[in-house]
Amino acid sequence: MMYWNQESSPETLPVPEDVVDLTFAVECRQLPVDHAYALSEALSRAVPWMAEEPLVAVHSIHVAGSQNGWERPPHGTDNFLHLSRRTRLSIRAPRHRIDDLLGALPGTRLVVGGCPMTIGAGKVRPLSRETTLFARYVVTQPNLGEEDFLASAARALDEMGIPVRKALCGKSTLLETPTGALHTRSLLLADLDVEASFDLQRLGLGPNRLMGCGVFIPHKGVDAVSKNR
């Protein structure tokens, strides 16, 4: 007989099932470029418990950048993104809320920043085992420089038990709310351990996750972010 115990490799480490992404089809012609607050409020009215569930996060709805003669409009609530039929609404949620969301949201009609949206069928998508993750918005303090922002993020991640090997911050973005603008920066983390990647996707970084802040998604790499800063 033989007893063999060794640490799991990245290939064999199972994807956690306690938190997943739910992706929903949407019927919506356009949304304000800055729709984070309006979308979070509309969803919270439709599903009131979302605001009380700490592991729920809403992905911002994003469309392709400027290309093929199309210019992405500047960020703001007065400029609009035109959505395609392939556009999806994604919500990160704990497993025990899957049935609640899949039952409550399809067929729901929202108004997001003055734009009507009807939510269609949803499906479950597991977290990614990619080790390069990107968040479009991480809440920061006004006028905090890049170096101080990265140091602050590294400290917060260290407190979560997530070691930082490579980090790159990107552009600053203001997200409008009725009580004033949230100051945010984009953040890319590379060369994470697979387990750390899972933890970061599950837990996020910082406040305002229903507005898409601190929500990490897989990214193709550091070089691509460097070119788009």
pLDDT surpassing 50 at residue 54: yes
Q: Which CATH class is domain 133-227?
A: alpha beta
HSE value, Cβ hemisphere, 13 Å, CA-based, for 136: 15
Stronger pLDDT, 19 or 79, i.e. the higher one: 19
Between CA 141 and CA 225 the distance in angstroms is: 22
Between CA 61 and CA 33 the distance in angstroms is: 9
Fold match flag (19-125 vs 133-227): yes
Instruction: Report the pLDDT value the prediction gives residue 221, as an integer from 0 to 100.
Output: 52
Stronger pLDDT, 79 or 185, i.e. the higher one: 185
Between CA 214 and CA 136 the distance in angstroms is: 8
Task: Share the mean pLDDT of the chain.
Answer: 88
Q: Which CATH number fits domain 19-125: 3.30.70.1890, 3.40.50.150, 3.40.50.12280, 3.40.225.10?
A: 3.30.70.1890
Reported residue count of the chain is 229
**pLDDT tens, position by position, 110-124:** 999 999 999 999 999
For 160-193, where are the alpha helices, taking DSSP H only?
Answer: none
**pLDDT tens, position by position, 176-219:** 999 999 999 999 999 999 999 999 999 999 999 999 999 999 99
Q: Do β-strands 109-112 and 115-125 pair in parallel, antiparallel, or remain unpaired?
A: antiparallel
pLDDT surpassing 90 at residue 3: no
Between CA 129 and CA 123 the distance in angstroms is: 19
Q: 212, 118, 226, 201: which is closest to 173 by C-alpha? A: 212
Between CA 20 and CA 90 the distance in angstroms is: 10
Instruction: Report the pLDDT value the prediction gives residue 220, as an integer from 0 to 100.
Output: 74
**pLDDT tens, position by position, 148-157:** 999 999 999 9
Q: Are residues 190 and 132 in contact, defined by beta-carbon separation less than 8 angstroms?
A: yes
- Ranges of each domain in the chain: 19-125, 133-227
For the chain, where are the alpha helices, taking DSSP H only?
Answer: 36-46, 98-104, 146-159, 194-203, 222-227
Between CA 127 and CA 117 the distance in angstroms is: 26
